[in-house]
């Protein structure tokens, strides 16, 4: 089994998700959801953003949410603030909020000049013109470690595909500026607001960053999922990194989210938290999250937004592994999403379904599993049946 990196996961549904939903969703519903998320075992939750309600009316009442939700000890609550005014507003609620600061002073730039103009009303050149200021501030504070990064890292809906060579060139220029002042680079962030990530590109990017700068041991990925590549891309990054590395990932319950600036709207959501964490648990990465409670949150959110969301584990359920979670082998047909919820709701979810079998379904393998034995033990040739024509060990 590979030695995977330490993974820090941040839940963005209340911010990245809600920012593109109906602004009329009630404060009470948002507080209900935030409180439920707090009980799942998630350690990092973004509660919203302190931004102008003129452009993001969905966040107009964030003060009420932060004032009235129930913080859970051990959970780190943060909020996005894009400018000094936003930071000051957030400070008024600290605690329970933690004023989030990047661990490292970071140089960053959008690879797509169109997106940054549409998103922040700034130019790519204006982003890069800040680099000397960031470096000077780091020197004044005697900071010894720094970060580099890009956004729209692998492509743009407005400019097309960006080869990894382009990404590496931009990172190289940032790294060289830190080198010139003797500040080590330990972190690299790569964002993907327009869903151009693929496993191959992310794997190549992370591999080349580590190959070029082995001392970088902190990778941050912000992956959107408009083309269903976010989870596979996160997995690719985990395969490249080792136990001495840290990987920051984020996503949203149900895959909620989107971007009004990229041309895809809600279609460019994020990796569904329940799906990504379900995969990580199967890889042996302990998330500390109660999947049953997390799925309850997804169902709650679907009720709030009034539609089915994009995750899969919330529909089909986690892979049943414990005996008590295995499906009834003699159940009727299960055809609808509602009846598929029997994994949590029990047999009443599929009650009245078509039952075409003349005799009850039985299984010698299931008998073994129910008795606490493995279904298959082919290494010893111990099958639950014997046939002369089937080759088996004595």
Domains observed in the chain:
6-316 (3.20.20.70), 323-360 (no CATH), 363-394 (no CATH)
Nearest by Cα to 256 from 291, 288, 299: 299
Residues 347-368 have a mean pLDDT of 94
Phi and psi torsions of 221, nearest 5°: -120, 130
pLDDT band at 275 (very low <50, low <70, confident <90, very high): very high
Q: Provide the pLDDT for residue 394.
A: 55
Q: What is the pLDDT of residue 1?
A: 57
pLDDT of 108 reads 96
User: What value does the mean pLDDT take over residues 45-71?
Assistant: 91
Examine the pLDDT at 378 and tell me if it is beyond 70: no
Phi, psi of 160 (to 5 degrees): 95, -160
Taking 70 as the threshold, does the pLDDT of residue 328 lie above it?
yes
For the chain, first and last CA: distance in Å? 32
The arithmetic mean of pLDDT across residues 89-102, rounded, is 85
- The band of 381, judged by pLDDT with boundaries at 50, 70 and 90, is low
pLDDT for residue 90: 87
CB 239 within 8 A of CB 270: no
Mean pLDDT for the stretch of residues 234-254: 98
- Angle among Cα 301, 232, 234 to the nearest 5 degrees reads 80
Q: What average pLDDT does range 274-288 have in this prediction?
A: 97
CA–CA separation, 374 and 357 (whole Å): 27
- The fraction of the chain above a pLDDT of 90, given in percent, is 80
Average pLDDT over residues 199-224: 98
Which pLDDT does position 377 carry in this prediction?
A: 78
Q: Give me the phi and psi of 151, to 5 degrees please.
A: -125, 165
- Pick from 157, 62, 65, 79: nearest CA to 119: 157
> Which residues, in sequence order, are CB contacts of 382 under 8 Å at separation 6+?
none
Residue 382 is predicted with a pLDDT of: 72
For residue 366, is pLDDT > 80?
yes
Please report where in the chains the tokens 């600290």 appear, as a residue: 94
Report which of 228, 312, 226, 221 is spatially closest to residue 275, judged by C-alpha positions: 312
Please state, in angstroms and rounded to a whole number, the distance separating the CA atoms of residues 304 and 312. 18
């Amino acid at each position: 089994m590979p030695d995977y990196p330490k993974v820090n996961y941040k839940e963005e549904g209340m911010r990245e998700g809600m920012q593109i939903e109906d602004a009329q969703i009630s404060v009470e519903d948002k507080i209900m959801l935030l409180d439920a998320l707090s009980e799942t075992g998630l350690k990092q939750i973004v509660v919203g953003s302190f931004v102008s309600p003129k452009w993001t009316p969905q966040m107009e009442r964030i003060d009420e949410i932060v004032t009235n939700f129930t913080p859970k000890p051990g959970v780190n609550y943060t909020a996005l603030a894009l400018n000094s005014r936003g930071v000051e507003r957030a400070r008024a609620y600290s605690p329970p909020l933690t004023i989030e600061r990047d661990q490292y002073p970071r140089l960053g730039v959008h690879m797509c000049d169109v997106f940054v103009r549409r998103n922040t009303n700034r130019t790519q050149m204006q982003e890069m013109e800040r680099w000397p200021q960031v470096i000077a501030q780091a020197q004044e504070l005697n900071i010894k470690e720094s970060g580099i990064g890009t956004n729209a890292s692998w492509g743009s809906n407005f400019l097309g595909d960006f080869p990894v060579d382009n990404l590496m060139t931009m990172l190289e220029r940032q790294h060289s500026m830190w080198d010139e002042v003797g500040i080590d680079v330990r972190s690299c962030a790569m964002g993907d607001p327009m869903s151009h990530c693929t496993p191959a590109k992310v794997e190549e990017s992370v591999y080349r960053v580590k190959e070029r700068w082995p001392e970088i041991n902190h990778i941050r990925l912000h992956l959107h999922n408009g083309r269903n590549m976010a989870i596979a891309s996160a997995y690719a990054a985990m395969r490249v990194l080792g136990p001495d590395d840290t990987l920051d990932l984020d996503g949203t319950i149900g895959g909620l989210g989107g971007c009004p600036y990229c041309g895809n709207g809600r279609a460019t959501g994020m990796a569904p938290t329940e799906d990504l964490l379900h995969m990580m648990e199967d890889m042996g990465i302990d998330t500390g999250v109660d999947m049953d409670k997390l799925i309850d949150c997804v169902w709650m959110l679907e009720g709030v937004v009034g539609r089915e969301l994009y995750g899969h584990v919330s529909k089909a359920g986690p892979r049943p592994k414990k005996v008590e979670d295995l499906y009834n082998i003699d159940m009727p047909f299960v055809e609808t999403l509602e009846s598929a919820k029997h994994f949590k709701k029990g047999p009443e979810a599929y009650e009245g379904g078509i039952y075409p079998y003349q005799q009850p379904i039985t299984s010698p393998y299931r008998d073994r599993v129910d008795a606490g034995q493995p279904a298959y033990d082919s290494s010893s040739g111990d099958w639950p049946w014997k046939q002369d024509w089937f080759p088996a060990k004595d």
